[in-house]
Amino acid sequence: MSAFLVSDRCMHRCVSLITNYLQTGGGATFGGETAVSHEGMDRIGRQLYAMNARAVNHRYNEDDKPPGYAYSPFHENDPDIVKHKALRCLLYQCSEGDVPESDLFKEADRVADAVAGQLFSSTATWRDADGWG
């Protein structure tokens, strides 16, 4: 397996998805942040990049610092399925060392699972499927 630092575009999508999840009742906080402000979104992105860097450093036995991060709303209107794929990419890149055991990884994984359930259950195929009851 290889690991890399995700792009800013990927991170913006992750932060946007997490923020949308929090603001629609998915939870009160993420990584200790309420993410209702631009500054909170910056802090979430920095925490996620630090987690990403920790995994990459473990994989390649390096000690590189995470990149700086400032949220950009450019990807806020991307479909949630695109944002979900970005979050799953980030989690995959963070699957090195003890990172998957961290609270932040587990929080991100819970958000990804919850959003996947929302996306799946909103499809016509699921609504029209037999099996309820």
From first to last of the 133 residues of the chain, give the pLDDT tens digit.
Answer: 789 999 999 999 999 999 999 988 877 788 888 767 899 999 999 999 999 999 999 999 999 999 999 999 988 899 999 999 999 999 999 999 999 999 999 999 999 999 999 999 898 888 888 887 7
Q: Evaluate whether residue 2 is within a structural domain.
A: no
Neighbours of 112 (CB within 10 A): 22
In a domain, 45, yes or no: yes
Could you tell me if residue 101 is inside a domain? yes
Whether residue 36 lies inside any domain: the answer is: yes
Domain that holds residue 38: 8-122
> Is residue 130 situated within a structural domain?
no
Domain count of the fold of the chain: 1
Q: Residue 42: inside a domain, yes or no?
A: yes
The answer to the question of residue 129 being in a domain is no
Enter the pTM of the model. 0.93
Question: Do the domain assignments include residue 1?
Answer: no
